[in-house]
Every structure is written in C-alpha cells, then in structure tokens.
C-alpha cells in the first residue's frame, strides 16, 4: 500500500477552494478543504468533497484515438501517430485554406500554462486569432464592462471585503448554489453583524434570495431599468460622494442628465415589480458605509450584458464605493481558471498580459517576447465562440481543436452548433473522458490528464494565483494539456516550444505580464511552489501581493479617471408573443457541474436532483392543465425538449426556468440549449442564455431515440491521416 497526498485547487468553480487530496495505490481516496486556505478556510461544498470519485472512471480516455473516415468507429493510436496526425492535418488545412480556416476553442478549465501555449501556437505562430474560450459564454461581458468603465479587466475586490461590507448587492447570481463557499462567508458575516443588509436581484426566489433582506424578483432582462431607477433615486437622495466623483471620474454631468430622464416608477413597471422595492434598494445602498456588489451570469449572459456591468459600476462610482475595504464591483468568476484565461489572452481579441491584438504596441511587445518577426500577429480580432461555430457551418472555418469544454451541450442554439461540428473537416477533441457529446464528433481524440494528475497554475475570482500539485499518475498515456500543445508546436517546427517542465512555461508567461495591470512577474514558479498562492498585482519577487486594486483611486484609463457610462434599458432580443408566450431563463443547480461529465457520475450528487425539470408558476401551469411532475414539451423557435414540470411560486408568472446541465449522452435529448437563442451582446459577443421565448404544453406520447449522423465526406487532411497510420501502433 502506498498512501500519498498533496494539495490542489478544486477544478470546479471560481471560488478556488484549496483541497487536500489523499491517494492510495494511485487512486484518490479522499478530498478535504485546507484549513488555512484564504478562499475556503477548510470548507468545501459537496461537489468538491466528492471530487475523488470522478477521476478514476470506466470512460476515461487513456489513449489517443483516430476515427475511421466515414464511420463512427475510433481506433487507438500511439502519441507519435496522433501528434503527427494533428500536426500534419493542421498544416494541410492551413496550407490549403489559409490560417483563418483553423480555430482553437478552449476553456476556463484549462490551466494558465496550457492557455498561454495555445495562444502562442495559434496567434503567434500559425497567424490566426481564432482562439476563443467558453469564457465568451460566461465572463466576456464582465471583461468588457471593467475595461470600458475602469480602463482594465480585473475584479478590484477580494473575499475579505465580505467582512467589511455593510451592504451587499447580489445581482443575477445564485451564490448559494453556484459559489457556495463564498455564500457561506456572506451568511457568516450576516450572523456576526445582523445590520449587514443583503439585496438579491433575481427573477427566481433562489436559496440566495431566501437569505436576503430584500429580494427584487425582476423580469429576466430588465436589470438596466432596475439599475438606472436606483441610480436616479440615489441622485434624488443626494446619496452621492461628490468629492470622489469630482476627483476620480469623468462623464458625471452627462450621466446626471441621463438620469433626469429616468422615471423610477416606469423602471419598476419595466421590471414587473413594486416601485417600493427600488426605493428600499436605493435606501440600503445610499446609506451603506461600505457597499459591495456580486454579479454573475444574470448580468453577463444578455444582449445588454456589458451595459449591465457598466451600470453596476456606475452605482459604485456615484457613491465612491470602490478601492477600499468592503467596497467595489465584484464580478464572480465561473470556472476555476477563467481568470487565468483572461490574463493569458485566450479570448479572440486578446494577447497575454491584458493586451489586445488591435493595439500595434501590444502586438510588437508580444512578437518581440516570442522572438517572432514583426507583423506575425494578425491585427484583427479572430472569431468568437458562437461565430466560430457559425463559420464552421458555412464552411469558412474548416478545422477546430476543442479542449476542456463540451460545446455540443453548452453552446446556444445547439442544433446549429451540432450542424457545424458535423460539417467541419477536422475536429480535434482533447478531454479526459470519451464519449462526451462533443467527442462523438471528433476525428482525433487526445487524452488529457486532469485534476490531481498534473501540476499547473490557476487564478480564482479574487485574483489569487495558486499552484496545484500532481498527486497521481494519469491513466494510460494521458498527458497534461500544455504538453500536448507544445508537442504539436515542435512537430510544426515552430520556434519557442522547447519546454521541459510546467515551471518553465509559467516563468515564460509571468515575464510577459511585467508592467501590465495584471503584473504577475514577481510570482515565480519557485515562489508559487513554496508559498502556494499570491494575489496579483505582484510586480517583484519580494512583493507580498495585492488584495485590492485602485486603493490609490487611480484608474488605468488615459486620464486616470473611471468613467460614468449612461446605458438605457433595452429589452431582450426575443419577447413572448401569442405562439411562444412564456420567457425561459436558464442556469445552475447546486449539485451538478455544467454538462455532467464528472458530477453526473457521482450518485450522491445525482440523488440530490436526478433529472431535469422545468420551473413554472402555478398560474401558468393551471392555464395549461399542467400538474406537478407532468411531462411537458418546451418549444422555442429553435428546438423542443421534454422534461417534468415543477410547479412553484419561486418563479414569477410568465417566466420559466431550466437548468443547463443535462445533455443527451446520459440523458434523453434534454439539453436546454436546443431552445436558447444565439443572439449576442454587440460588444462582448456573449450570447443571451438568460432569456428566450417558449411555448409549454402537457405531453404524453413516448420520446424517440436520438441519432447523430456521421460525416461521410473525405476531408482535405485525410492524406495526413493515411501517412500517419503507417507509423507503428502501440
């Protein structure tokens, strides 16, 4: 028996809980919270606690696999063969169709080392900015909100602010289910200081809303009306920090004029709530000595997602509530390393160190750092997530490399996304598991080592950069994501992929952040391995790290001032009508993680909520003859699915809710994204997952089996495949 143990960061949510992992004979046997960890102080939620059960499962992908053209059969291949095939196929596609014909679609679940190398490979060396991430479905609106209002991305706050705040606004976030360990800290603060006021703005009476002093159950998509109404009331009450506004902001006069045209009564009508709720919210915010706001997908996943972010920040600027303990706009990050992805430039407009491809100075700096000729990096942003899948369907894009995300469940308007995957000439999927809904479309499957099987670095919601140790050996020949990317770079004979260790990749990356707002240059690989975690900015090796940004009230805009941005209310893209008379909103439940490739295998978690359900208000159920547990069909302009009804007054009349977790690998065609709309925020290009119009009816006949047709065409890279096959198999 060989018991060994080590520490890592939970690979689920952006809270970033530090876990202590124990293994016996290379199998995980226990996961506990680390007592002195700054984020979780020993706590874990049930997903984290059951983590050890999801690593060693029968569906682990242990060997690279290649698909026989025109069939659904995969056969195992050696790494040599698989990597030669990937390199040969990418080279063939780029030579035949040009660099814009390939894309990398990654995720906030890749470690920073992998994201950094993906960017270097595609943006630096292959010459295409088509690298995007599922963060486009998630944090893109928050990124653009911070950049436009404050001058740079990066939450200015930290978790300890909870202990200093006197008023906490939670808008479009269900913290009790989605960021449970942080919600525990909010609850503990409330218990210690009952005068702390908690406001929750959410169309549903969630567990989070139940813990609030004030719940505003606004209609999906009406947040701008709410936020502008509250801002107007703050102005009327004189609850404004004039000195802060004068010294540290621009655009106040224009914003005040805009607010003069705002009628709080009309705003309340737009939100479908009593005007008194807006007055109560303004009173709580206006009288707070430290005002902290948390927001997440209810703000971001909207065609006005960036504007919602700007309008939340407007409230903080009006009241001077930023850059000091207990105050600030705190966008909650979804995934364990979505922050790292932002820092390393995964999004299609970005470069490492919060740089952009559009900025000639930024391009030149990165080209120099990478030792590439001037002009190597393309000056125009690449395709974003939804655009990638649109371009795959039209044939503009030919090849896609997908890592650490399951787009065949998580993209909006899923029938479109699946048509795109079917049409693609080359699909490479890099995942620890097979099959997944996405891996079934792959031509080449690359087995990824996952949590506890590799070392790596990630950044959580509060800018805390943390190191995770390798504790066990990956199954079969699975390898860390960064190693796979580096191997392909070397096979393509590209410069700059000669790394022997994870630490070398990290040290190269941190160097490129020097002098940038997310300066991590003082966070060396050695320091991270000794000190375990450090908060950026951390510009030197003796710097202790920074819990907060903007403590000096200086913002990274050209004039050093934060900007007021007047943002009028705009309705969601799709409105209910006679045919599709209800609004559908979507989100999470506490026991499951995204598309269930891991949490769906833990019976203790599955038991909590074994199957998908539609939340519908009793009035809407009654008019449709629907009773609790009836199977209902939910239909939008894009698709239809059948689930059981949960009749509840936790949701407003006219609104329905489905969780995003169920797909159709283990489940029966119940992916919510068959229904959702792919309308995008024009600035952040984030889709409107939180609002579309649906019809709901009672349903009886049995459901049909799902079949996915396999592509039959001969792809342009099939020669590469044929050559590669001749090399010996394992």
Kindly state whether residue 138 participates in binding Mo ion, applying the rule CB under 5 A. Answer: yes
CA 66/CA 87 separation, integer angstroms: 14
DSSP 125: I
Strands annotated E in 610-687: 613-616, 631-635, 640-647, 655-659
Q: Which of the residues 68 through 97 are near ligand MGD (CB under 6 A)?
A: none
Kindly state whether residue 569 participates in binding ligand MGD, applying the rule CB under 6 A. Answer: no
The residue with its CB nearest to ligand SF4 is 48
Q: Which stretch binds ligand SF4 (CB under 6 A): 10-18, 471-479, 522-530, 613-621?
A: 10-18
Options 37, 44, 110, 693; binder of ligand SF4; rule CB under 6 A? 44
DSSP 462: T
- Three-class SS state of 687: strand
In the complex, the smallest distance separating the C-beta of residue 44 from ligand SF4, rounded to whole angstroms, is 4
Q: Which two tokens stand for residue 693?
A: 């119009």
Give the number of residues written for the chain. Answer: 730
In the complex, the smallest distance separating the C-beta of residue 465 from ligand SF4, rounded to whole angstroms, is 15
Q: Which stretch binds Mo ion (CB under 5 A): 8-16, 191-199, 329-337, 525-533?
A: 329-337
Q: Which stretch binds Mo ion (CB under 5 A): 280-288, 326-334, 516-524, 599-607?
A: 326-334
Residue 231's binding partner among ligand SF4, Mo ion, ligand MGD, none (Cβ under 5 to 8 angstroms by kind) is none
CA 192/CA 488 separation, integer angstroms: 54
Query: Between vectors from CA 211 to CA 205 and to CA 217, what angle results, nearest 5°?
Result: 30
CA 39/CA 166 separation, integer angstroms: 20
Q: Which of the residues 433 through 452 are near ligand MGD (CB under 6 A)?
A: 433, 436, 448, 450
Q: Which of the residues 176 through 235 are near ligand SF4 (CB under 6 A)?
A: 180-181
In the complex, the smallest distance separating the C-beta of residue 689 from Mo ion, rounded to whole angstroms, is 10
Q: Which two tokens stand for residue 332?
A: 């909650």
In the complex, the smallest distance separating the C-beta of residue 242 from ligand MGD, rounded to whole angstroms, is 29
Kindly state whether residue 334 participates in binding Mo ion, applying the rule CB under 5 A. Answer: yes
| Cis bond before residue 435 (omega within 30° of 0) | yes
Kindly state whether residue 597 participates in binding ligand MGD, applying the rule CB under 6 A. Answer: yes
Residue 634's binding partner among ligand SF4, Mo ion, ligand MGD, none (Cβ under 5 to 8 angstroms by kind) is none
Options 8, 151, 154, 203; binder of ligand MGD; rule CB under 6 A? 203
Q: Which of the residues 341 through 370 are near Mo ion (CB under 5 A)?
A: none
Kindly state whether residue 290 participates in binding ligand MGD, applying the rule CB under 6 A. Answer: no
Q: Are 548 and 328 in contact (CB under 8 A)?
A: yes
CA 417/CA 435 separation, integer angstroms: 18
Strand bridging mode 214-216 / 197-201: parallel
Contact residues for 702 (Cβ-Cβ < 8 A; gap 6+): none
Q: Which of the residues 183 through 202 are near ligand MGD (CB under 6 A)?
A: 201-202
CA 28/CA 452 separation, integer angstroms: 9
Query: CA-CA-CA-CA torsion for 157, 163, 168, 171, nearest 10 degrees?
Result: 50
**Per-residue b or e along 465-504, where b marks 16 or more CB atoms closer than 10 Å to that residue's CB:** bbbbebbbebbebbbbbbbbbbbbbbbbebebbebeebbe
138 vs 150, beta carbon nearer Mo ion: 138
Q: Which stretch binds ligand SF4 (CB under 6 A): 9-17, 211-219, 532-540, 658-666?
A: 9-17
138 vs 485, beta carbon nearer Mo ion: 138
The residue with its CB nearest to Mo ion is 334
Options 28, 34, 38, 48; binder of ligand SF4; rule CB under 6 A? 48
Kindly state whether residue 286 participates in binding ligand SF4, applying the rule CB under 6 A. Answer: no
Site size toward ligand MGD, by CB under 6 A: 58
Query: CA-CA-CA-CA torsion for 207, 174, 415, 144, nearest 10 degrees?
Result: 170
In the complex, the smallest distance separating the C-beta of residue 720 from ligand MGD, rounded to whole angstroms, is 22
Q: Are 363 and 328 in contact (CB under 8 A)?
A: no
Kindly state whether residue 177 participates in binding ligand MGD, applying the rule CB under 6 A. Answer: yes
**Per-position DSSP letters for 185-227, written without gaps between them:** HHHHHHHH-TT-EEEEE-SB--HHHHT-SEEE-PPTT-HHHHH
Strand order of the β-sheet with 3-9 is: 3-9, 18-24, 27-33
In the complex, the smallest distance separating the C-beta of residue 457 from ligand MGD, rounded to whole angstroms, is 13
Strands annotated E in 559-689: 562-563, 582-587, 613-616, 631-635, 640-647, 655-659
Per-residue string for binding with ligand MGD, 371-410, x by CB under 6 A? --------------------------------xxxxx-xx
Per-residue string for binding with ligand MGD, 309-338, x by CB under 6 A? -------------------------xx---
Query: Which parts of this chain interact with ligand SF4 (CB under 6 A)?
Result: 10, 12-13, 15-17, 40, 44-45, 47-48, 180-181
Query: Which parts of this chain interact with ligand MGD (CB under 6 A)?
Result: 11, 13, 107, 109, 134, 137-138, 171-174, 177-178, 201-204, 206, 220-221, 223, 296-298, 301, 334-335, 403-407, 409-410, 430-433, 436, 448, 450, 481, 585-588, 590, 592-595, 597, 660, 672-673, 676, 689-690
Query: Which parts of this chain interact with Mo ion (CB under 5 A)?
Result: 138, 334
């Amino acid at each position: 028996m060989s018991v060994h143990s080590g520490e890592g960061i939970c690979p689920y949510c952006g809270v970033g809980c530090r876990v202590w992992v124990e293994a016996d004979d290379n199998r995980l046997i226990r996961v506990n919270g680390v007592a002195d960890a700054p984020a979780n102080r020993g706590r874990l939620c049930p997903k984290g606690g059951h983590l050890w059960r999801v690593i060693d499962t029968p569906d682990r992908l242990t060997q690279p696999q290649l698909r026989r053209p025109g069939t659904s059969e995969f056969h195992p291949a050696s790494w040599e063969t698989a990597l030669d095939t990937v390199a040969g196929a990418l080279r063939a596609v780029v030579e035949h169709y040009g660099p814009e014909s390939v894309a990398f679609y990654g995720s906030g679940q890749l470690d920073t080392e992998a994201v950094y190398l993906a960017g270097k490979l595609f943006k630096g060396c292959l010459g295409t900015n088509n690298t995007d991430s599922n963060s486009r479905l998630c944090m893109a609106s928050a990124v653009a909100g911070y950049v436009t209002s404050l001058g740079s991305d990066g939450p200015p706050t930290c978790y300890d602010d909870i202990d200093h705040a006197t008023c906490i606004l939670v808008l479009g976030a269900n913290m009790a289910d989605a960021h449970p360990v942080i919600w525990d800290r909010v609850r503990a603060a409330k218990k210690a200081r009952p005068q702390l006021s908690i406001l929750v703005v959410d169309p549903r009476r969630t567990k989070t809303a139940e813990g609030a002093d004030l719940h505003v159950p606004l209609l999906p998509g009406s947040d701008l009306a709410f936020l502008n109404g509250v801002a107007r009331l703050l102005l009327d009450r004189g609850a404004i920090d004039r000195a802060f506004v004068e010294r540290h902001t621009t655009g106040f006069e224009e914003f005040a004029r805009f607010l003069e045209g705002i009628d709080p009564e009309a705003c309340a009508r737009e939100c479908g709530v009593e005007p008194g709720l807006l007055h109560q919210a303004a009173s709580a915010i206006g009288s707070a000595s430290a005002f902290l706001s948390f927001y997440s997908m209810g703000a971001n996943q909207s065609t006005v997602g960036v504007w919602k972010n700007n309008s939340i920040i407007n409230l903080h600027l009006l009241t001077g509530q930023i850059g000091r303990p207990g105050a600030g706009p705190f966008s909650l990050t979804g995934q364990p390393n979505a922050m790292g992805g932002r820092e390393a430039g995964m999004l299609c407009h970005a470069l490492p160190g919060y740089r952009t491809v559009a900025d000639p100075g930024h391009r030149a700096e990165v080209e120099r750092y990478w030792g590439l000729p001037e002009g190597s990096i393309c000056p125009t942003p690449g395709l974003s997530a939804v655009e990638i899948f649109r371009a795959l369907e039209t044939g503009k894009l030919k090849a896609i490399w997908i890592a650490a995300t399951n787009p065949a469940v998580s993209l909006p308007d899923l029938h479109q996304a699946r048509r795109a995957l079917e049409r693609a000439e080359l699909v490479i999927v890099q995942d620890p598991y097979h099959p997944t809904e996405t891996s079934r479309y792959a031509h080449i499957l690359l087995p990824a080592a996952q949590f506890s099987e590799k070392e790596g670095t990630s950044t959580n919601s509060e800018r805390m950069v943390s190191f995770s140790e390798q504790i066990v050996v990956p199954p079969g020949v699975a390898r860390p994501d960064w190693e796979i990317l580096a191997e392909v770079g070397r096979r393509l004979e590209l410069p700059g992929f000669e790394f022997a260790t994870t630490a070398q990749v990290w040290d190269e990356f941190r160097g490129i952040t020097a002098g940038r707002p997310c300066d991590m240059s003082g966070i060396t690989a050695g320091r991270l391995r000794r000190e375990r975690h450090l908060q950026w900015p951390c510009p030197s090796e003796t710097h202790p790290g920074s819990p907060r940004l903007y403590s000096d009230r200086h913002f990274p805009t050209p004039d050093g001032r934060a900007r007021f941005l007047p943002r009028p209310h705009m309705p969601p893209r799709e409105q209910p009508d006679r045919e599709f008379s209800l609004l559908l909103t979507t989100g999470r439940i506490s026991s499951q993680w995204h598309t269930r490739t891991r949490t769906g295998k833990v019976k203790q978690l599955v038991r909590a909520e074994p199957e998908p359900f539609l939340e519908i208000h009793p009035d809407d159920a009654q008019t449709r003859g629907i009773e609790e547990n009836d199977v209902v069909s939910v239909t939008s302009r894009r698709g239809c699915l059948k689930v059981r009804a949960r009749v509840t007054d936790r949701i407003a009349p006219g609104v329905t809710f489905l969780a995003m977790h169920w797909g159709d690998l283990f489940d029966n065609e119940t992916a919510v994204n068959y229904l959702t709309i792919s309308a995008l925020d024009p600035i952040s290009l984030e889709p409107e997952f939180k609002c579309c119009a649906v019809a709901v009816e009672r349903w009886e006949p049995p459901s049909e089996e799902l079949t996915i047709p396999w592509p039959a065409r001969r792809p342009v890279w099939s020669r590469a495949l044929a050559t590669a096959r001749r090399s010996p198999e394992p």
